[in-house]
Amino acid sequence: MNTHLHITAWALAIILLLVVIVLQKTGKAKGAKITHMILRLDYLLILYSGGSLLTNYLNGGGPMMTEAIIKSVAGLWVIVAMEMIAVRTGKRKATKGAWIQLIIALIITIALGFGRLEGGLLP
């Protein structure tokens, strides 16, 4: 249940971030602002679902615990990079560094999330 919430929440975040950027680039400042607020609410869903998945690992204390912690830190980094991109695009500042961070952080999170950690989609 939390896994599905988690995946839905971060997939939605990627979509919302793209919508925010398109709205900002096409000068629709108000729409961008509203969408950005929704994106920020969605961060809470990511944090809640990810935090609850992490709790399972912390309580279980199994061999994957360290990886789950690293995965979670990388997940936080994804959120930070997304927020940097959204804010900096709105201010017409350079976003290349933030995009590079987002891509690196996303690769780490998705590789550890889908590739290594077991608690996920499989029944």
- Vertex 40, ends 38 and 41: CA angle to 5°? 65
Residue 24 makes CB contacts below 8 A (sequence gap 6+) with 32, 89, 90
- The DSSP 8-state label assigned to residue 53 in this structure reads H
- Name the residue number minimizing CB distance to ligand HEM: 120
Site residues for ligand HEM, 38-97, by CB under 6 A, read 46-47, 50-51, 53-54, 57, 68, 71-72, 75-76, 78-79
Stretches 4-12, 16-24, 85-93, 94-102: which one binds ligand HEM (CB under 6 A)?
4-12
Q: Which of 3, 45, 65, 90 binds ligand HEM (CB under 6 A)?
A: 3
